[in-house]
Amino acid sequence: MFFIANWKMFGGLNSLNSINKVLGFLKKFKSTRLAKIIYCPPNTLICPMAKKLKSTRIDVGAQNCHKSESFGAFTGSINSSMLRNVGAKYVIIGHSENRSEGENDKLINLKIKSAIKSGLKVIFCIGETLKEKRKKVTNKILNKQMSIGLKKIRNKKNIIIAYEPVWAIGTGLVPNSKDLRKTVDFIKGKNKNLKVLYGGSVNPKNINELKNIKNIDGFLIGGASQDPKKFIDIIKKTYN
């Protein structure tokens, strides 16, 4: 079971101290031994966080990367090899917040290829808008995002798919259990053997319902992961 903490644009060096509570929790609660925990902080914290977590069970990832594998004149950008060099093992690509800033499926495809070539594991985000959901074209949208985003990628063993409906990000809303189970089944049907996570307002209040959807392989957690108590509650309740 994956628990991926997407810190988004949050945190300074002092924020790393909050992870101590999570580390202490993991030592005490043996039922979490199968949990795979990954922190994806801002780029400014990847190196110090990777050093802090070097001898622990927690891995570190990034929140995005540039499409180019090599150095270049891309002011303000960081590529996948640079991320790996400072300790990242994973990278989130295709998050709805980045798509809203202009990322399209073809660009996402290039980023995924670059990340895999650099040795990073990819957390590939897909999801529909509220308008698309109301039009009942969710599967059509997801299929397009997956088809273009994963085009010509033969070896997918280092790709995890995160289904995060755009309308659920930061709203507190989540799909009902029946719809979510069907959507995850659809995604898995198109991508045999790939893990599928759910993301979108995951918090300590709704995790009891989400954990009962058996085909979900874990959670991509946004704002709640910035608070160690809430993050621990999500992990703890998943195994209770």
| Host domain of residue 22 | 2-67+77-239
Which of the following is catalytic: 69, 132, 164, 209? 164
Which of the following is catalytic: 95, 97, 103, 128? 95
- The reply to whether 95 belongs to the active site is yes
pLDDT at 21 over 90: yes
Query: How many distinct structural domains can be found in the chain?
Result: 1
Q: What is the CATH number of the domain that holds 120?
A: 3.20.20.70
- The reply to whether 97 belongs to the active site is no
Whether 72 is in a domain gets the answer no
Q: Which helix (H) or strand (E) holds 43?
A: helix 43-52
CB 77 within 8 A of CB 91: no
Whether 171 is in a domain gets the answer yes
pLDDT of residue 33: 82
pLDDT tens profile 132-142: 999 999 999 99
Integer Cα distance of 198 and 167 in angstroms: 13
Whether 38 is in a domain gets the answer yes
Whether 146 is in a domain gets the answer yes
Which DSSP category does 38 fall into? E
Whether 46 is in a domain gets the answer yes
Using alpha carbons, list the distances in angstroms from residue 70 to 3, 73, 79, 84: 31, 10, 7, 13
Whether 135 is in a domain gets the answer yes
pLDDT tens profile 55-112: 999 999 999 999 999 999 999 999 999 999 999 999 999 999 999 999 999 999 999 9
Whether 207 is in a domain gets the answer yes
Whether 23 is in a domain gets the answer yes
> What is the SS3 assignment for 148?
helix
pLDDT tens profile 122-176: 999 999 999 999 999 999 999 999 999 999 999 899 999 999 999 998 888 889 9
